[in-house]
A = this chain, B = another copy of it.
Amino acid sequence: MPEATRTLPNFRSDNVAPVAPEILQAIADVNRGAAASYGDDDYSALLNRRFSALFETDVSVFPVPTGTAANALSLASCVRPYGAVYCHEEAHIHTAEGAATEAFTGGAKLLAMPGQHFRLEPPMLREALAAAGWGIRNRAQPDAVSITQASEYGTVYPLAAIAEIGAIAHERNLSVHMDGARFANALARLGCSPADMTWRAGVDILSFGATKNGAMSADAIVVFDQGLVESLSYRLRRAGLTWLKMRYLSAQLLAYVEDGLYLRLATKANTVAARLGAGLAALPGVRLVAPVEANLVFASLPVPAINRLAATGLPFARRGQDVIRFVTRFDSSEQEADEVIALVRDATTGG
């Protein structure tokens, strides 16, 4: 790594973030003597209660190491091996999880569809379901819809859209899964309650992301539809995802939601992204690929400009030929956004 890059902002991914100090402290705090294993400890008992309060309904919470585990196991709990999952064609479960959902469901099918701004569109979903071949043995049978909130491109579903998708799905007895790898960023954007963005809008099971937003290694599956819990709990066990020392996972998640920490962290990331997005959009030759509604900024630039930008050592991800991605975090700063804007300006103007 060239020396220069060390001091440049790193907006490559929110996966590069450190752990929020409050969460690290919580881990240290539970490190006292023996505690029951496999989730029978006091902290883990507290986890279900605390999240039930947060979501204003009885939920079951299962900490998992990654969003992929959360998504694939969630879907395995509500999709039959001969079932199908409807999702956006850019959904992480479809493009970037190594076919984990196909593996854990025993070979179900992901049916991906387009949709403006990387969101599923209710009318298209309705049409697709109408044409699904219900009861025809050679067609995978619709079992679930999966939406990503915030989406992989940083757009956020309005509550009404989620509710419409939920209604369409439930009419047909499909489960609704939300990939909430950036749940807090979406929630901060909408300013609604966790309940409003999930079960009240029809979400049955949620991949609750925390790792990208300040936890160490603790995402979670939050189950609203209690009928899914038993199957899920066995599937987690045989996936090697039942933690021996669960207290350390529970502690992370408890601290994450304590006093709204998760929202404060997400709000910071969103704020920096908004500033970055606005700054980039104002540059000649730069076009935002999607509205900046969470902590992700996708911009289209001329290829030579991208190459010049890369030459500066600034870390970023590429998507296709002429699109680059920046991701802000809870520990990002407005000053970093301004630095990046300046670098992009230089690159696009031939610098």
Contacts and interface: CB of A to CB of B under 8 A. Distances in A.
A241 B103 contact: no
B108 A102 contact: yes
Interface string A1-42: 000000000101101111100001001100111111110000
Contact of A243 (B34, B217, B234, B244): B217
A17 B99 CA distance: 36
A108 B242 CA distance: 19
A227 interface: no
Contacts of A80: 231, 234
A149 B239 CA distance: 22
A31 B16 contact: no
A52 interface: no
A212 B37 CA distance: 11
A138 interface: yes
Contact of A81 (B72, B73, B82, B106): B106
Interface residues on chain A, size class = 35 or more
A261 to B, nearest CB: 16
Contacts of A233: 137
Given A72-B240, A217-B217, A240-B68, A31 B18 contact: yes
A32 to B, nearest CB: 7
Contacts of A155: none
Contact of A32 (B18, B141, B249, B329): B18
Given A66-B243, A69-B240, A102-B108, A34 B19 contact: no
A231 B82 CA distance: 9
Contacts of A248: 19, 216-217
Max chain B Cβ within 10 angstroms of own Cβ: one of A18, A33, A35, A70: A18
A64 interface: yes
Contact of A138 (B17, B237, B245): B237
Given A66-B242, A103-B106, A248-B216, A139 B98 contact: yes
Given A19-B245, A33-B331, 6 more contacts: A18-B34, A19-B248, A24-B31, A67-B244, A69-B239, A106-B107
Closest 4 CB pairs of A and B: A69-B240, A15-B37, A98-B238, A103-B107
